[in-house]
């Protein structure tokens, strides 16, 4: 049944995401906006804050009731598909941004890479110049290149042991702190 769920999400390019933020679990939606050049977007409220909902049923009800969400027509088709299940397609742990001890051998480096990419999508969606500049900085570009070469392509077997994880994690702590004002929590 999980495989069918993924096929439905792939078809509509919308994914139910379970999010961990400050050790609490929430649900949201991330996906491609077919009405906006397939740009990847987060579910946001009227003032462009990420929407984190504590209950999947409440999230589904919200998606059915409101019309201001990205790619709203396809979003509703996805959520109403007979095969749609309230099972998250992915778990996204925003608290990775404040974890200590990252180095070139850390087992969650690939998760951090994916997380940074998804937060960058949010920065682009909101046109957050400061965040976008940070993600385009030499530090983050080097991290993303290293991660892609290590985890996606067959270019190298492990992360560069000389990478500046101290500065990267300092910036990640700042991102985690800054996100608090850019999230709308719904119970």
Report pLDDT for 80.
Answer: 93
Phi then psi dihedrals of residue 45, to 5 deg: -85, -170
Decide which of 2 and 41 is more confident. 41
Bridging pattern class, strands 50-53 and 39-42 = unpaired
Model confidence at 185, pLDDT cuts 50, 70, 90, reads very high
The two tokens of residue 109 are 């480096």
Arithmetic mean of pLDDT, 65-88: 92
pTM of the prediction? Answer: 0.91
Q: Where are the domains of the chain?
A: 2-92, 100-186
Q: Map residue 113 onto helix, strand or coil.
A: helix
β-partners of residue 117 are: none
> Measured between alpha carbons, how far is 15 from 185 in angstroms, rounded to an integer?
19
Q: What is the pLDDT of residues 104-149, one digit of tens each?
A: 888 999 999 999 999 999 999 999 999 999 999 999 999 999 999 8
Residue 25 DSSP one-character state:
E
Q: What is the pLDDT of residue 97?
A: 97
Q: What is the pLDDT of residue 45?
A: 95
CB atoms within 10 A of CB 172: 24
8-66: per-residue pLDDT in tens?
Answer: 999 999 999 999 999 999 999 999 999 999 999 999 999 999 999 999 999 999 999 98
Token reading at 105: 């051998």
Biggest CA pair distance of the chain: 51
């Amino acid at each position: 049944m999980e495989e069918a769920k993924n096929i439905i999400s792939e078809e509509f390019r919308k994914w139910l995401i379970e999010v961990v933020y400050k050790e609490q679990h929430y649900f949201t939606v991330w996906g491609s906006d077919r009405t906006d050049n397939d740009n990847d977007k987060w579910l946001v409220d009227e003032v462009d804050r990420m929407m984190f909902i504590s209950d999947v049923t409440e999230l589904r009800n919200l998606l059915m009731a409101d019309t201001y969400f990205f790619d709203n027509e396809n979003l509703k088709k996805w959520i109403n598909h007979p095969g749609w299940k309230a099972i998250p397609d992915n778990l996204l742990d925003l608290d990775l941004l404040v974890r200590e001890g990252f180095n070139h051998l850390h087992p969650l480096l690939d998760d951090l890479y994916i997380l940074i990419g998804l937060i960058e999508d949010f920065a682009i969606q909101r046109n957050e110049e400061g965040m976008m500049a940070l993600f385009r900085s030499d530090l983050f570009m080097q991290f993303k290149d290293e991660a892609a070469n290590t985890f996606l392509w067959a270019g190298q077997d492990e992360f560069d042991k000389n990478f500046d994880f101290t500065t990267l994690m300092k910036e990640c702590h700042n991102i985690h702190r800054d996100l608090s004002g850019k999230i709308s929590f719904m119970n």
